[in-house]
Amino acid sequence: MSSTQTEQSTPRHVAVVGGGPAGLAAALAAAEAGARVTLIESSLELGGQYWRHLPKERDGEGQAAMHHGWSTFLDLDRRVRSHARITLLSETSVWAVGLPALELLTGTSDAADRVRSTLEPDAVVVATGAHDRTLPFPGWDLPGVYTGGAAQAFAKSERIAVGDTVVVAGAGPFLLPVAASLAQVGSKVVEVVEANRIPRLASGWLPKPWQLAGAPGKVQELFGYVAGQLRHRIPYRVGEAVVEAHGEGRVERVTIMSVDAQWRPIAGSEREVACDAVCVTHGFTPRLEVAIAAGCALDDSRFVVIDESCATSTSDVYAAGEVTGIGGVDLSLAEGRVAGHCAAGGASSDPQISTAQRKRAIFGSFAARIEAAHGVRPGWQAWLRDDTIVCRCEEVTAGQLRRKAAATRSHSLRSQKLSTRAGLGICQARICGRSAEELIETVLGRGLDEGIVDRRPIQTPIRLAELAGTSEEQHPLTGRQHP
């Protein structure tokens, strides 16, 4: 890859992967610093997980109604689309990385006529975000069990309520916006159930309160959710978890139990709650495929390691947003701005990004607080039964995973996957992978070898014909065709 903007006459070409808050901010900052930018987003619309859209024909229903900072999104969207140095490739996925090349696939998801092309930028910003993580429990494969993110997506982009009577459960601040959105689209939210107890929540959120004062918008957002909970009379219970879903053909009720500080269920605390949907989320897990393929180092919690410039361990590869830690939209925006500016050849101390650097410091503390207060504890494995399905695609149970691990004592991730088939189905371990790994590691008493389940040589699904490179069309925007 080439040297910095200041040392060269032709503008540096920066590719930004991901059009969520971090990617939008990165693309604009890179263009403003003089770079030529290609923004690659697999969805049709920009905005990522946070700013989801009603279909265009339903614009009149008020896109802003269920969003915080919708005007910020409109401003970013307009500036990105109108900037002379930004080329937007929507409905385009990075499906493979062989630096400096990014392999792209453009077209409607899984359509037969997608176009393959290759981009060779000078620098890359990885802003691929995260998806929500749900721990398995008996009955979680029943219709009517949703992730919080899915419920949120239905509410924001379709105004559909996933149920009439809904329990929201898991861990983390995300439970609050999920409950708020459900109430807005007409569900009765029976209760919100947070697995962590008061001492742990306090140990994450109470230290250094002045840092929270530096983020008045977040505090206001939190008060908004609390007011909404009170208005809709939604109880918020702590130290409890949904440990089973029951029903004939779909969810009719859930069992909730008190859990200890490690999330082990406490015998005798069972209670049943009637509902027709349950939304369960235990935090987020980063979308790492592109970062791993680019060789970026990860920390112990599996987030991409970045420095003050948002540079990763791979030369000319930067990262921003939830791939680097779960800190919320403000941190994603600030990191995106720094990453874009520095990928374009700027320095981390430049005055153009001093505000973003200050915000990184403020909102960076949120990621640490969220992990300290709400991070997954190992006791969840105690609410599984032997026949609880962990890998839903291949229908592999907790008992099968544990027995194979005990019988083989193999520390090879690959061999455990091949002998159980866990993680080999259509989702490629995106849903079950970390849970399956943790179950096997508990049996083995140590970590698995050969990397982690997020290492996927092909980053997004591609048809065999596309892989064989039979497409004869040229990419409409890059003008290049794969050989």
Cα 146 to Cα 162: distance, rounded to the nearest angstrom:
8
How many CA within 13 A on the CB side of residue 127? 40
Minimal CA–CA distance to 195: which of 263, 141, 264? 263
Tell me, what DSSP letter sits at residue 315?
Answer: T
Q: Which helix (H) or strand (E) holds 277?
A: strand 277-281
Cα 147 to Cα 143: distance, rounded to the nearest angstrom:
12
Q: Please pick, from the candidates 459, 466, 475, 482, the single residue that binds ligand FAD as defined by CB under 6 A.
A: 459
DSSP-derived 3-state class of residue 471: coil
Smallest gap from Cβ 401 to ligand FAD, in A, equals 25
Residue 63 contacts ligand FAD per CB under 6 A: no
Q: Please pick, from the candidates 30, 50, 121, 145, the single residue that binds ligand FAD as defined by CB under 6 A.
A: 50
The contacts of residue 109 (CB under 8 Å, 6+ apart) are 42, 91
Joined tokens for residue 17: 């992967």
Find residue 390's DSSP bridge partners: none
* Identity of the residue, 341 or 404, whose beta carbon is nearer to ligand FAD in the bound complex: 341
The contacts of residue 130 (CB under 8 Å, 6+ apart) are 49, 284, 285, 286, 287, 322, 323, 326
Q: Please pick, from the candidates 72, 352, 460, 478, the single residue that binds ligand FAD as defined by CB under 6 A.
A: 460
Judged by CB under 6 A, the chain residues 12 through 31 that form the site for ligand FAD are 17-23
* Identity of the residue, 32 or 132, whose beta carbon is nearer to ligand FAD in the bound complex: 132
Q: Please pick, from the candidates 5, 38, 42, 196, the single residue that binds ligand FAD as defined by CB under 6 A.
A: 42
Annotate 3-30 with b (16+ C-beta within 10 A) or e (fewer).
ebbeeeeebbbbbbbbbbbbbbbbbbbb
Minimal CA–CA distance to 39: which of 469, 48, 285? 48
Judged by CB under 6 A, the chain residues 98 through 157 that form the site for ligand FAD are 127-132, 149, 152-153
* Identity of the residue, 400 or 459, whose beta carbon is nearer to ligand FAD in the bound complex: 459
Residue 180 contacts ligand FAD per CB under 6 A: no
Residue 177 contacts ligand FAD per CB under 6 A: yes
Cα–Cα distances in Å, from 38 out to 53, 119, 334, 401?
22, 9, 20, 43
Smallest gap from Cβ 438 to ligand FAD, in A, equals 20
* Identity of the residue, 17 or 190, whose beta carbon is nearer to ligand FAD in the bound complex: 17
Smallest gap from Cβ 82 to ligand FAD, in A, equals 20
* Identity of the residue, 24 or 242, whose beta carbon is nearer to ligand FAD in the bound complex: 24
The piece of 8-16, 42-50, 239-247, 405-413 that touches ligand FAD (CB under 6 A) is 42-50
* Identity of the residue, 21 or 163, whose beta carbon is nearer to ligand FAD in the bound complex: 21
Judged by CB under 6 A, the chain residues 275 through 294 that form the site for ligand FAD are 284, 287, 290
The piece of 34-42, 195-203, 339-347, 402-410 that touches ligand FAD (CB under 6 A) is 34-42
Residue 360 contacts ligand FAD per CB under 6 A: no
Smallest gap from Cβ 396 to ligand FAD, in A, equals 24
Q: Please pick, from the candidates 35, 39, 94, 234, the single residue that binds ligand FAD as defined by CB under 6 A.
A: 94
DSSP-derived 3-state class of residue 167: strand
Minimal CA–CA distance to 189: which of 250, 68, 275? 275
* DSSP E strands, 50-199: 86-89, 92-98, 101-106, 115-119, 123-126, 130-132, 145-146, 165-170, 188-194
Residues in the interface with ligand FAD (CB under 6 A) total 36
Residue 328 contacts ligand FAD per CB under 6 A: yes
Residues near ligand FAD, by CB under 6 A:
17-23, 40-43, 48-50, 93-94, 127-132, 149, 152-153, 177, 284, 287, 290, 321-322, 328-329, 332, 459-460
